[in-house]
Amino acid sequence: MKDSLAYTEATIAAIATPVGPGAIGVVKVSGALSERIFRRLFKPKKEISEIQSHRLYYGYIQDPSTGEIIDEVLITLMKAPHTYTREDVLEIYGHSGYFVLTKILELVLREGARLAEPGEFTRRAFLNGRLDLSQAEAIQELVTARSEEALRLALNQLRGALAERLRPVKEALLSALAVVEVAVDFPDEDVELLSHYELADQLEKEVLGPIEELLACYRHGRLFREGIAVVIAGRPNVGKSSLLNALLMEERAIVTPVPGTTRDVIEEMATIRGLPVRLIDTAGLRETTDLVEEIGVRRAREKIAQADIVLFVVDGTEEPSSEDFRLYEEIRSRPHLVVVNKIDIASEETLTLWRETLPGSRKIFISAKERKGLEALAEAMFETIVGEKTGTVPQVAPNLRQKMALEKAKEALIQALSHLRSPNVLPELVAVDLRDALSHLGEITGEATTEDLLDRIFSQFCLGK
């Protein structure tokens, strides 16, 4: 069975690099059979008297049953506990290619290892105490980081920043629980519950406050991890595709003077002010009898409804029209910016009209063709989404699973505070709530966890990690 001792103590192996043409491919092994596999498969260029841990050796992988040389490799055996998994670890560095790496892996499996499941190396690092659960999750976030800020958040988490932030919170909870349990254990004694109002104030300051701060960091962290969807919308021929090209700094979309050139949704990734951004160029919004264009307009409206922010592009060379006002009504309920384009050829009179129209909206004046005003647009987009001008990225930001655990801990704590501030305190109820809060915080770093939760977390990892 999967949860049996034999399963968790088995030696595991996987190809740890993307399979395909390349300079180097790595096969990784972890477990008690690592040294035996080293001795059975590796033919050193020079004789080895004693295998030294964490040392690279040069030679060949050889099929022990036939004597056939499979690949020229570097190999290292790293002895426990000074390894990623805290088990003996063997790494074979060969040439990258599907056949050669698969052949090496087959030989390793033939020697008694089994194929590792996704994330199983990191899972063993967690189970063997090298990482807490928040650090293990940070490794996946490190691999999938889509911006420099997301990378920094993952690195901070990997260094244990979240666990460090939670440590004084847990200590405060444990101290409060100890006080409450004295009252529970000695109900007939004249034990003062540290002025329950005082205890409530202490918990609010030392536990509830820090939890709420971490929850507030979640939204910013999500933006930098997952990115935002930016939809470019407006009438045909106002310069939406030109704006997409300008933001990407490449000719991605076809630009012509003919209205309705873009008939489908075009999506491209970019990084703006450190945020991963999915730029979505849409068909011009207008009534049409063209079936293909009509489908494009419908898709554009669907994308607008899902956008994190809409860039409503208007033509600065033309006076505001009733069609502009009608389309603006469609997007005004979404986070948005009005982007007045073509300022390089627009008259001051029409630009003044645009400054005075659509009151209450934030307008950015640009020339997509001349790439003018794009920095101001990027700053405005960042402020609209992140909600601040400084662009400060939090040092620690919980992921969705961790956020849910924090919310449950907060609920339990609020319940405990409610009991403590009632005239007749029942210590038993307060103790139950404080234990619940501690348990939920323990889920974040892995002190309290289940097999199903671990399966769910590590199944998102790649093989070999």
pLDDT tens-place string over residues 206-263: 999 999 999 988 877 888 887 888 888 888 888 888 888 888 875 554 443 444 444 4
Domain of residue 422 covers: 148-223+399-445
**73 and 20: one domain?**
yes
**372 and 264: one domain?**
yes
What CATH number is attached to the domain comprising 80?
A: 3.30.1360.120
Report d(CA 141, CA 396) in Å as an integer: 13
What CATH number is attached to the domain comprising 267?
A: 3.40.50.300
Decide if 463 is inside a domain: no
Decide if 137 is inside a domain: no
**94 and 174: one domain?**
no
Decide if 142 is inside a domain: no
- Say yes or no to pLDDT of 420 above 80: yes
Contacts of 372 (CB under 8 A, 6+ apart): 343, 344, 366
Q: Give how far Cα 327 sits from Cα of 236, 270, 313, 315, 374, Å.
A: 12, 26, 11, 13, 23
pTM for the model: 0.75
Contacts of 25 (CB under 8 A, 6+ apart): 15, 17, 19, 93, 94, 95, 96, 97, 100, 101
3-state secondary structure of 340: strand
Within 10 Å of residue 94's Cβ, how many Cβ atoms? 23
Alpha helix (H) residue ranges in 132-249: 133-143, 148-158, 161-185, 196-203, 209-226, 240-248
**55 and 185: one domain?**
no
**263 and 378: one domain?**
yes
Model confidence at 457, pLDDT cuts 50, 70, 90, reads confident
3-state secondary structure of 184: helix
What CATH number is attached to the domain comprising 178?
A: 1.20.120.430
Q: Which of 60-74, 210-224, 402-416 has the lowest mean pLDDT?
A: 210-224
Q: What is the pLDDT of residue 393?
A: 66
**Residue 17: what are its φ and ψ, rounded to 5°?**
-125, 155
Q: In this structure, what token pair is assigned to residue 325? A: 């006002």
pLDDT tens-place string over residues 291-300: 444 565 667 6
3-state secondary structure of 71: strand
Report d(CA 114, CA 27) in Å as an integer: 13
**264 and 325: one domain?**
yes
**41 and 66: one domain?**
yes
**252 and 358: one domain?**
yes
